[in-house]
Structure 1
Amino acid sequence: MAYEKVRELMESLKLTGMMNSLDFSLHNWGKGEKDVTELLEELLLAEVKEKSERRYLTALKYSGLPFHKTLEEFDFSFQPSIDRKQIMELKSLRFLYEKENVVLLGPPGVGKTHLAVALGMEALREGKKVYFVNAISLVDKLKKAFSERRFEKTIGYFKSIELLIVDELGYLPLENEGAKLFFELVSEKYEKGSIILTSNRGFAEWNRIFEDEILATAVLDRLLHHCTIVNIRGKSYRLREKQKTGLIGTQLISSPGH
């Protein structure tokens, strides 16, 4: 009866981790290998682990990450231009704790978004607030917030995000209003939080993104002051998959123009 009562109490208090570990822990305790204090410690650790996993899954759900891939799944052999030691240093999340940025540059399909997502997942595991957004979608959100007179509140939200991942800056140019609002966001995040940004354009071309050389320089100044730059020069993973199916030839996948 006491056993059933304990399980009912655990369920009532939503101690799922303890409840799931109860039988196994009692079995070991019954062998006389542990005293009651060690039994309680084992059950409490199980509960801490369960709660931590639930927090992670909830944060992952609301992070906006488009897919869930890790650094272990990244094929470094396909992209020899990437310094693996540099990526492993980023995996330590030192940049996040020091409120530095990461900029991933390279043509489409070379793995920029995969690396950004993988670092985002590492940050989520550390209990950090992460938000992933496409660059154009981000600017649209800022413009809408500005027009609805809630820009300060929106900026406040983005300031609270410890790791903001901005994907695909440069695929489309930003018109003047959007570019200025993006600059405001970068300025507010400067030395207060980290940004991971992916772009298909080299820095010399950023005046094409912002259509204003002075604004482009101001954005770069704040992004790059404390920043790790990963420049990827390689083939497209997506085109490689198409090549495997015979839909395209090897010439296209090897072309530096792609």
Structure 2
Amino acid sequence: MTQLTELRDMMRSLRLSETARQLPELLQAAEQQDASYAHFLASVMSYEQKRRDEKQVEKRMKWAAFPDHKTLKEFNLAEQQSLSKKQLNQLADLLWVEQLYNLVLLGPPGVGKTHLAIGLGIVAVESGYKVIFTSMGDLVQVLKTEEITRKSKARLKRIREADIVIIDDLMFMAMDQEEANLFFHLINDLHEKASIILTSNKAPKEWGELLGDPAITTAILDRIVHRVEILHLNGDSYRMKHRKTIFGSENVSN
């Protein structure tokens, strides 16, 4: 057994598996730089820590279950005049998460609500927060099957343990009494424990029409708006403005 093989085996037994894989390159770099023992040891520890951090981000990103990878850098502020650069930077600072604020992103379809929610979620994941994304339709289905399937139970466990829960397309469909009650209990579980980002094309005053029960609506609103920032995104649909057509550059109406 060579000394390199022995070192790599010992590293693996000490759970320094990332460094074990990279050890030949680290040794070569140290020899080329004529590095001191302390410098080499620091580079080994630094590499292991870096790779562990990266793997944690990868793990949290997988758990977040974002439907797309849409970053804040890709969010076109020129297309969304109702949000300033300063406001976007303040949201990206994530101080509101530490303060357990909720965000409600309101506006018609296509104005960037989901993109903004995902972008903030990605920043949060990279900053060490546990984030989870769900559409309202999927959430209702998971809530209704929590006692039936392990998958739904595991999904809701992650939701309840998250630092940020993103619920997309809130109130896009009417709920029956059971669904509204289950949704209330989830919001109650998250209250004062996590920040919630909601996207919706309906203002909170309209939610009662879809929840059906005035008492449940009031209870949900009370918990969401206790600490909330409501952002009204407006303008033309970005998706419609930049849609692709099978007719090339021709106007469809021609």
TM-score (structure 2 length as normaliser): 0.85
CA displacement at 1:13 relative to structure 2: 5.2
Alignment correspondent of 1:111: 112
CA distance in 2, matches of 1:32, 1:64: 42
CA distance in 1, matches of 2:164, 2:80: 25
CA distance in 1, matches of 2:57, 2:208: 39
1:30-86 per-residue CA deviation (whole Å, 9 max, x = no partner) reads 356532112111111111111111121122122221011110111111111113322
CA distance in 2, matches of 1:206, 1:73: 31
Change (3 A) 1:72 1:153: closer
Change (3 A) 1:246 1:219: farther
Alignment correspondent of 2:168: 167
Change (3 A) 1:153 1:79: closer
* Number of equivalenced pairs: 250
CA distance in 2, matches of 1:185, 1:153: 14
CA distance in 2, matches of 1:132, 1:201: 19
Q: Within the alignment, does 1:122 sit opposite 2:126 as a pair?
A: no
AA partner of residue 214 (structure 1): A
Alignment correspondent of 2:179: 178
CA displacement at 1:243 relative to structure 2: 6.4
CA displacement at 1:127 relative to structure 2: 2.3
CA displacement at 1:249 relative to structure 2: 9.7
Larger displacement relative to structure 2 (235-244 or 151-160) = 151-160
Is the Cα contact below 8 Å between 1:155 and 1:188 reproduced in 2?
A: no
Q: RMSD in angstroms over aligned alpha carbons?
A: 3.0
CA displacement at 1:24 relative to structure 2: 4.5
Change (3 A) 1:16 1:235: farther
TM-score (structure 1 length as normaliser): 0.84
Equivalent residue of 2:235, what SS?
coil
CA distance in 2, matches of 1:28, 1:22: 10
- Return 5+ residue gaps in structure 2 as ranges: none
What percent of counterpart residues are identical? 33
Alignment correspondent of 2:57: 56
CA distance in 1, matches of 2:250, 2:213: 39
Runs of 4 or more, structure 1, over 4 Å off, are: 11-14, 151-157, 243-250
Q: Within the alignment, does 1:197 sit opposite 2:223 as a pair?
A: no
Q: Equivalences for 1:185-224 in 2 at 5 Å?
A: 185-224=186-225
Larger displacement relative to structure 2 (11-20 or 175-184) = 11-20
Change (3 A) 1:196 1:45: same
CA distance in 2, matches of 1:238, 1:69: 14
Alignment correspondent of 2:236: 235
